[in-house]
Structures are given as structure tokens and as C-alpha cells.
């Protein structure tokens, strides 16, 4: 354990010489996967293809934040329009009863400043999931797993044996099943996480979204339609979450490059997300849902002050762009 859990600016990314070529290859593999799935399910994203709901709300940046958090979007208190897209993480459009990663993407509009991709920034996006860490430490393992799983017909088992050996394969299968089979409390009641870090000015942080107690209890397990469960709550009342930041303290405790390590540092609430009571079935809401389905939600669509960090995030930059091109969104 570190001698101090104080936020530190002494973080560094470790970029391998062959990284650009590897990430380009990941993009090629995902483009092929996306094309196969689009032939089966219609044009869509490579992952998080199935949109469950899309809503509009407001993000309020709070006052009196500590110095490490008072950067970029959070430098000054203020209110911003926000879009939210809820999704299943898979590459297909399977039943919501099937265990899966759940995605909660936020687009914060009206931000001012330089973009992480260069030029003026149009929005600050957060791509959150219902897991505090990734199942794999680096992007290469994740890409190989997803591509093998997409092929079916025993390809995944053959991949696991080849990578982890006969002795290591059962442990990897158990860990993967534990990840994808994690019980889900519903989007209104489940904490959501960035799982990988972003910059916060000179600091580095991970992000968490925590539901307010007033959102109600956890949903019953095995929902047939998680979007309908969420929208039913929103039809009755407004829903709120606290957006929190968790700081880097040192490389041993809070590694930048390994997205599978749980950071033990405390979270600080920096903003409040509110979705007002609304009818998701109205014509206006349905039109917005179509707009969100076509839109880009990308952690690299961000202020330079919140540039994504680490191997997983850098790989996303290449893979997300290819996916956006594949569905005509870039």
C-alpha cells in the first residue's frame, strides 16, 4: 500500500514502439467483425450495438472541489445539457436476459476548450460500464477474445487453449463467466465506471457514476427489457446520479496501463447528473432516440484536459474511429 493516497501528477503512459501498427490491426479486425454483424443485424456499432434507451438531461458541476478535480470540465461550477445512451455491450442484438456488460454513455454538450483530438471541443463524453475494472489488463487480450467469440463454433475455446494453455484455460473461463454473469441492478440503481483512466488537467483519474438513493431499489433479476424498466422509473420521477473522480496516487497502486487493477483510492463527487421525469414513448423522445442511435459516444470526444489514458483507451481511439466509419458516423 502507498504511504499516501494523495492525488499525484507523477503518472506516465508507456507506449510501445509497435503500438500504432497493433492498434491499426485491431481496427481492421473489428471492421471485419462489424461487417459480419451488420449483415445479420443491420448497420450498427461493433460493440454496444443494442441501444436500450436514450434520454436527455443535465449535468451540474459542483462548487468547492479539491484542486485535483478542479480541472477541465470541472474547473468552474455550471450546468450543461447532457445526452445519455444505455446499451448492452455485445456485438449482436441478443435478449436482455442474456448476461452482458451494460453501457451508460454520457455526452456533455456546450463545453469550451481544446479537444483531445485537436481543434475545438464539441462535447465531453464518458463511456461507462457496470464493472469497476476491465476483465483484461491490456487491449490485445480483449480484442483476441472478442474476435474469437464472434466466430462461434468452438473458436473461443481453441483461442483460450492456445493463449492460456490447458491448465490456464479453466481459470480464464471462470473469470470471464464471473465478469459477464455479474448480477445487474438496473441502470437507475447500479454504479457505473470508466474502468480506465482519463486525464484531469495534470492529474489522472478514473470516473464513477453513483445512483441516488431516491432512484429506488435494485430491479428484479433477469429483466426482459432493461430499457423499459429504466424508462418506467423515469416516467414516474426524475432520476439522479453523482459523478465522481478517483485519483491516481502512484504507479504501483493505481497503474495507468493495466485496466484490470482496482484502484483503492477514494472517490470525490464533482457533478450531479439529472434526468427529469419524461415520457420516453413520446414522438419527440422517439426522434431523439434515433438521433442518439446515429450519434458518436466516444471517450476521445473529450476536452484535452480529459484525454483518455492507458493502453485500453489508446486502442479505443483507433477501434472506435473504424467502427464509426463502418456505420457512416465519421
pLDDT of 280 higher than 80: yes
What's the whole-number mean pLDDT along residues 233-251?
98
Give 285-309 pLDDT, tens digit per residue.
999 999 999 999 999 999 999 999 9
Task: Please enumerate in sequence order all residues whose Cβ is within 8 A of that of 167, keeping only pairs 6 or more positions apart, or say none.
Answer: none
What's the whole-number mean pLDDT along residues 178-196?
89
pLDDT of 313 higher than 90: yes
Give 40-82 pLDDT, tens digit per residue.
888 899 889 999 999 999 999 999 999 999 999 999 999 999 9
* Helix residue spans in the chain (DSSP H): 19-41, 139-151, 155-180, 226-236, 283-294, 310-326
Banded model confidence at residue 260, pLDDT cuts 50, 70, 90: very high
pLDDT of 172 higher than 80: no
pLDDT of 2 higher than 60: no
More confident residue, 151 or 209: 209
Banded model confidence at residue 169, pLDDT cuts 50, 70, 90: low
Q: Which of 88-92, 156-160, 161-165, 315-319 has the highest mean pLDDT?
A: 315-319
Banded model confidence at residue 330, pLDDT cuts 50, 70, 90: low
Out of 4-8, 86-90, 170-174, which region has the weakest mean confidence (pLDDT)? 170-174
pLDDT of 156 higher than 50: yes
More confident residue, 94 or 20: 20
Q: What is the share, in percent, of the chain residues with pLDDT greater than 90?
A: 73
Q: What is the share, in percent, of the chain residues with pLDDT greater than 70?
A: 96
Architecture of domain 19-326: Beta Barrel (2.40)
Banded model confidence at residue 1, pLDDT cuts 50, 70, 90: very low
Cα atoms found within 13 Å of the Cα of residue 217, Cβ hemisphere only = 3
Task: Please enumerate in sequence order all residues whose Cβ is within 8 A of that of 231, keeping only pairs 6 or more positions apart, or say none.
Answer: 53, 280, 281
Across all residues in the chain, what is the average pLDDT?
92
Amino acid at each position: 500500500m502507498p504511504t499516501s493516497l494523495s492525488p499525484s501528477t507523477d503518472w506516465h503512459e508507456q507506449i510501445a514502439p509497435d503500438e500504432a501498427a497493433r492498434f491499426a490491426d485491431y481496427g481492421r479486425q473489428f471492421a471485419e467483425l462489424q461487417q459480419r454483424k451488420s449483415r445479420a443485424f443491420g448497420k450498427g456499432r461493433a460493440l454496444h450495438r443494442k441501444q436500450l434507451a436514450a434520454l436527455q438531461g443535465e449535468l451540474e458541476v459542483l462548487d468547492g472541489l479539491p484542486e485535483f478535480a478542479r480541472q477541465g470540465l470541472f474547473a468552474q461550477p455550471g450546468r450543461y445539457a447532457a445526452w445519455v445512451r444505455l446499451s448492452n455491450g455485445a456485438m449482436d442484438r441478443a435478449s436482455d436476459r442474456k448476461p452482458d456488460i451494460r453501457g451508460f454513455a454520457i455526452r456533455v454538450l456546450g463545453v469550451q476548450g481544446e479537444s483531445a483530438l485537436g481543434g475545438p471541443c464539441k462535447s465531453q463524453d464518458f463511456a461507462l460500464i457496470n464493472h469497476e475494472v476491465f476483465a483484461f489488463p491490456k487491449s490485445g487480450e480483449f480484442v483476441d477474445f472478442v474476435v474469437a467469440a464472434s466466430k462461434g463454433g468452438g473458436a473461443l475455446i481453441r483461442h483460450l487453449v492456445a493463449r492460456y494453455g490447458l491448465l490456464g484455460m479453466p481459470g480464464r473461463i471462470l473469470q470471464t463467466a464471473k465478469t459477464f454473469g455479474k448480477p445487474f441492478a438496473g441502470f437507475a440503481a447500479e454504479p457505473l465506471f470508466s474502468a480506465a483512466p482519463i486525464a484531469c488537467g495534470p492529474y489522472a483519474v478514473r470516473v464513477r457514476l453513483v445512483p441516488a438513493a431516491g432512484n429506488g431499489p435494485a430491479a428484479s433479476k433477469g429483466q426482459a427489457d432493461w430499457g423499459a424498466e429504466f424508462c418506467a422509473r423515469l416516467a414516474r420521477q426524475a432520476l439522479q446520479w453523482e459523478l465522481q473522480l478517483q485519483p491516481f496516487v502512484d504507479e504501483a497502486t493505481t497503474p495507468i496501463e493495466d485496466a484490470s487493477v482496482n484502484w483503492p483510492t477514494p472517490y470525490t463527487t464533482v457533478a450531479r447528473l439529472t434526468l427529469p421525469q419524461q415520457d420516453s414513448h413520446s414522438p419527440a423522445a422517439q426522434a431523439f432516440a434515433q438521433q442518439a442511435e446515429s450519434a458518436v459516444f466516444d471517450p476521445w470526444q473529450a476536452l484535452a484536459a480529459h484525454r483518455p489514458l492507458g493502453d485500453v483507451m489508446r486502442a479505443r481511439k483507433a477501434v472506435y474511429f473504424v467502427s464509426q466509419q463502418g456505420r457512416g458516423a465519421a
